[in-house]
Structure 1
Amino acid sequence: MKKKLMLYLAIQQMKEQRFTVTQIAEQLKISRTTVYSYLEMSPEQAYEWANTLKSRKKKLDPYKDWLVAWLKEHPHLSAAQLHDWLLERHPKLVVGESTMRMYVSELREEYQIEKTKKVRQYEAIIEQPMGKQMQVDWGETRQKTKENTEVKLYCICFVLSHSRYKYVEWQDRPFTTRDTIRSHENAFQYFGGMPEEIVYDQDHLITVSENAGDIILTGEFQSYKQQRKFRIYLCRKADPESKGKIENVVKYVKGNFADSRIFTTIDNWNERCIEWLKRTGNYKVHNGTKKRPTEVFLLEKQHLKPVSNPLSIESNNTISITRTVNKDNTIHYKSNRYSVPLGTYRPRGLNLVSIEMAVDESNQQQLVIKRSPDGEVLAKHRLELAKGKLVKNRNHERDRSKGIQAYKETVIRQFNNTELATTYINQVLAEYPRYKRDQLAIIHKTTNDYPDYIDETLIKCVDEHFTSANDFHDIAKYISKIQSKELPVPPLESSRLKTRNIKVETRSISTYTDILGGVIS
């Protein structure tokens, strides 16, 4: 209110001193429309108008508590970064950047939160033609977690020199040469092409040395360069003119995306970074070009060299990539969910699977999900390039489990020795042909209740010819109690097994049922 009244008085005084409207606007750095509106007000009207500003609701008022909390905790944050944080939590919010800057400025003044100013150096660099050059550099940062601990993260950043279109990839461990090659392939897929030349620092991941212009690359990266056929330009030390763009990108990523953001998992972190690129990193107007990178990229993309599907070296160069199976029997990969067969998820199991890239008969990228790097193939999916999709095979749908054969396969998959499990379950179903589903349901429930003991139980049942799901359940329950030292081993005799003329060398089934209170129904 006070600022508005002071501005009103200043305009009136300058008008009395015979300043023109244009001169007043230029000197006070306001628009001529604003000058006209102030000149038309009387002192009483100006005071009344300024007074109404106190009660006027602003578009960002519903988010005021969030903004004040962020500013108090991180007083160095810029209005642009606060804007991005709001958009991350409220994607449908539409507010101008100038409105955001003004609102944050008012909050700083109201709550006396001073901003630490950082001097940023800019220098003129000759623009590169479309599709000619890409710059690459690495960075690292420390992030807080929800548990208030600290983790160290590493990133590799790519930027097309002409459009300033960016790609970023993160890891929770230092990058190796193989990681670097994989990230290059991901960047080429993200850009939809490859430039003629790539600019690097003298990094040990790609170079051994540079002798008077003769570049000696590491063996792995030399092989990769020959396959992709791009030129390499190595910068000299302390040579910002050669790769100032990528250095600014690394600072931007660390200062706008990573700064003060809470880390959960590396997959989630990468997904949020890709969304940040869409929302801010590649969308905001670039200070140098005064254009949006995403708009200029649409033109530059046409000048990039087409790239084939990721090279076969990709799957060979990656250390075994693992993913956790979710409760809904899916895994996450690059912001999408891919299904695995029902029953792959185990309530108390490790639930880790291995993934790798392949190419199918039609030369399309394919995601292969395995139980282990050298284990059975659980699922194959066509790689989805969009984000936020559920990619699901028809034979992974729940309706399939309604069939006895599919249900049996789901149960068998819970065991490590699937061959022995198949033999045993076939015997159980042959013993109870009218109650196949009931028998499978009991065994399935047992695998969920006692996942650590089902393989031992399976061997016991096969060795002693216990071909009943209730037997299987009771033995698994008993073994779990024996191993936790809750029950002694009573030398009782089985009345139930006698009726079947089965001789048991150790413990009988009635021992289990008597101790556990009978079989389940």
Structure 2
Amino acid sequence: MEIYQLKQEGFKIRRIARKLGISRTTVYKYLEKSPQEMAEWVASTQTRKKKLDAYELLIHTWLTEHPDLSSAQVHDWLKERFPTLCVGESTVRSYVKALREKYHIPKTEMKRVYQAIPDPPMGQQAQVDFGQTIQKTSQGKEKKLYFISFVLSHSRYKYVTWLSHPFTTKDMIQAHEEAFQYFGGIPYELAYDQDSLIVVSENEGDLILTSEFQAYREERKLKLFVCRKADPESKGKIENVVGFVKKNFAKSRVFHHIDKWNESCLAWLIRTGNGKVHNTTKKRPVEVFALEKQHLRPVNKKISISNIDNSITRNVRKDNTIIYQSNRYSVPLGTYKKDKEVFIEISNQNELIIREESNGAIIAKHTLSIEKGKLIQDSQHTRDRSKGIAAYIETVSTYFDDKEMASDFLQEIHQRYPRYIRDQLSLILKVSKTVTRERRNQALEECVARKIYSATEFRDVVEFIQRQTDSHQRPPQIEAIKTLHGMDDTLLQIKPKTRELDSYIELLKGATV
């Protein structure tokens, strides 16, 4: 109807197509049809057969048995049972939505039931949490900032401090000391998330704290309440504070310097964070805090935190990378060992510094990425395999007179044994060093002529040529005949004593024959 109306108003086909965002072919096609034909065509589209109609009963059964089933799960189950079915997620989503409306199957969700909890007594509890934002700098770049916030559960009195690098345990303890000085006392209980700076692991409710925070806890005699994993609602007051800081103070604010940023945040706390009427209590936190301050434990002495290690440890993965802020950062090849840990720290230049020892030499340095799931890799931490093999082949080919033939021979071996080319080249080089240049040249020519492309067969050819050459150069030698009796040959030269014949005739006189 819009096409007909624009045509009657005098618009040309090109202008109609541009105005309605359709092609000129579509405009021509619709203008050729009468209003009656168009009405019949639209009605037919409403009753046309859909691709998933053959699976309607199955999908209806799934939705009836599992009302909370999502369309993405339906799509996966269809692909699992019918591998040849080719259907898009959007098609399944539309079909599932239509079936829910047709059979009145609303999607049910398991919702957590919340109960209002009275505020704890004055001075009883403070809640603590971390947050981070990405701010525009005065140079137009982006800068990631990190903050820790404290709130007294009764009065809603807040304290916030910022850093330009992620918090270490030392930074966190320093922030606690600043917060206690700001509050003028210490609450009897502190509520936290299971943050890695505080908790090492959870053993069926028995929390294992980091050694530094455990020592600080004992020094300050703090009572901790650590929330269960994935349960931020149990400390909803501080969750609201984190959102309030992000949306009211940090949003659209330009970052110049971290010190100036902290000064602005303290002024914001006085003006808005603690000076504005709280939406739930309907009171100004600063006014309620004047009474709550009297119930806090006094800060008796200052604690020295200079001896606390400021480094963060990370395990080295098998691919010689570490995980930090959901990104992978490379370390030099060979760094990985089982249970190998490295120490990391963040510099003021927004760089990730990696050391093998806490105060040891730097083994890697990377610019921090604000993205997620990225591999940040130093080219010096990778092995240039193509360049290494090419250089290796060039080195081995110099042991032959015909370098071009040798290079072609070695390249052919590379194509046949790509995974073992280093072993092949190593064997050829070892054999070449043990024979004369003439022998290895003969072996190369023989291998190329017979199309033999293998390091082990090259070695066999070299040994064969060596044996043949040695047999031709050595003159034949006649070995002396050894006597069977094993006696000294000089004894054979001795002649027995002989007698005259007359003596024998004299003895035989009168004998008959």
TM-score interval (norm. to shorter) = 0.3 to 0.5
TM-score of the two chains, using structure 1 as the length reference: 0.37
TM-score of the two chains, using structure 2 as the length reference: 0.38
Larger of the two Rg values belongs to structure: 2
